[in-house]
Amino acid sequence: MKRILTGDTPTGRLHLGHFVGTLENRVKLQNEYEVFIILADTHALTTLSEVPEKIKEYTKEVLLDNLSIGLDPKKVTFFKESDVAEIYELASIFSMYVSHNRALRNPTIKDEIASKGLGDLFSLGFINYPIYQAADILCVKAELVPVGKDQEAHLEQTREIARVINKFAKSELFPEPKALIGRVGKLVGTDGNPKMGKSLNNTIYLSDSKEEVEKKVMGMYTDPKRIHANDPGTVDGNPVFVYLDTFASEADLKKVEDFKTRYQKGEVGDVEVKKFLVEVLNSLLEPIRKKRLEFKAQDLDAILKEGAEKTRRIAGETLNQVKESLSLV
């Protein structure tokens, strides 16, 4: 079976953006591929270095998020990055083959520095992260990586690393992994920011209660030019309609089209459309909330322990091959 590796940084719980960007594809492919899900806890130190205890809490939440959307722990391997030390050894070898300039040229890194307001206060690990990520992916020789659009640039760097190592190792050690972008590559935030992001305070979490969903939706950004319910409104790019297009079930599509027509003519108020969106989202999230409760009662540490053992075995073999072919043995 071909392998998938993907995962999340435990810097917060997972949200609707993750759901359409990557989680849905994980579920869809869990029977066709051998799937590895990494909880990149070391990576989380790039944003939570001053409150490391939070990473532990979020690691558990993110594992629960993944389980509650329908990933089966009997089929899928979950592991914490910090449990597989082979990844760091591999990453340090890879870093010898990446120029300093190339590391700084990564467009996603540049975007994150701007959107998170990091200025010049980012760590060396932050810039290095795409190289660690290459080690996350290549340690199990994954061929497919289901991710959101913002990860495309990182994947390109992984592919470059695979090529350069293969070249100097004089053997086809690594596949060139492909990104698989979800049906919405970048979901807009509740505030109209182009990206719903854990660090941006514009999220609807998979674990939000009915009431939280209602509160967030009723406060959502819509069409700023529309003041009265009878002003004609804009549907394109309006986050409320983006969410309706993305999350309404087949059976609700006609209703969505009707709302759009009336909204553009100024025949329906924001409140009515938002109330409908609350219903749509809560019916998507209700089964996820239920599953989360079931998994909460299970031994999550055991899942991570088993996953770490399996991944270490595979990563250890990969590391040996790399060292041998680069004359380090």
Full strand arrangement of the beta sheet holding 3-8: 77-80, 34-39, 3-8, 144-147, 178-181
* Residues whose CB falls within 8 Å of the CB of residue 191, separated by 6 or more in sequence, listed in order: 200, 201, 202, 220, 221
Whole-angstrom distance, CA of residue 256 vs CA of residue 273: 9
Mark residues 41-70: x for contact with ligand ATP by CB under 6 A, - for none.
------x-----------------------
**Burial profile 92-117: b = 16 or more Cβ within 10 angstroms, e = fewer:** ebbbebbeeeebeebebbeebbeeee
Whole-angstrom distance, CA of residue 290 vs CA of residue 116: 33
Distances (CA, A) of 261 to 229, 241, 258, 286: 14, 11, 5, 29
Q: Which amino acid is at 300?
A: L
Cα angle: 102, vertex 196, 290; to 5 degrees: 125
If the CB atoms of residues 93 and 140 are measured against ligand ATP, the closer one turns out to be: 140
- Contact between 81 and ligand ATP (CB under 6 A)? no
The residue whose Cβ lies closest to ligand ATP is 21
**Burial profile 206-228: b = 16 or more Cβ within 10 angstroms, e = fewer:** bbbeeeebbebbeebebbeebee
- Contact between 197 and ligand ATP (CB under 6 A)? yes
- Return the range that interacts with ligand ATP (CB under 6 A); candidates 194-202, 276-284, 305-313, 319-327: 194-202
Q: Which of residues 142-161 bind ligand ATP (CB under 6 A)?
A: 147-148, 150-151
Q: Across the strands, what pairs with 6? A: 37
- Contact between 25 and ligand ATP (CB under 6 A)? no
Mark residues 122-141: x for contact with ligand ATP by CB under 6 A, - for none.
--------------------
Q: Minimal distance in Å, beta carbon 103 to ligand ATP?
A: 17
- Contact between 207 and ligand ATP (CB under 6 A)? no
- Residue 9, helix vs strand vs coil: coil
- Return the range that interacts with ligand ATP (CB under 6 A); candidates 11-19, 134-142, 220-228, 251-259: 11-19
- Return the range that interacts with ligand ATP (CB under 6 A); candidates 17-25, 220-228, 234-242, 265-273: 17-25
If the CB atoms of residues 21 and 307 are measured against ligand ATP, the closer one turns out to be: 21
Whole-angstrom distance, CA of residue 132 vs CA of residue 91: 5
If the CB atoms of residues 127 and 164 are measured against ligand ATP, the closer one turns out to be: 127
- Contact between 307 and ligand ATP (CB under 6 A)? no
- Return the range that interacts with ligand ATP (CB under 6 A); candidates 24-32, 74-82, 191-199, 243-251: 191-199
Select from 323, 315, 304, 309 the least CA-distant residue to 39: 304
Site for ligand ATP (CB under 6 A): which residue of 76, 161, 162, 187?
A: 187
- Contact between 9 and ligand ATP (CB under 6 A)? yes
Whole-angstrom distance, CA of residue 53 vs CA of residue 237: 38
If the CB atoms of residues 148 and 233 are measured against ligand ATP, the closer one turns out to be: 148
Binding residues vs ligand ATP (CB under 6 A): 8-9, 11, 17-18, 20-22, 47, 147-148, 150-151, 185-187, 195-199
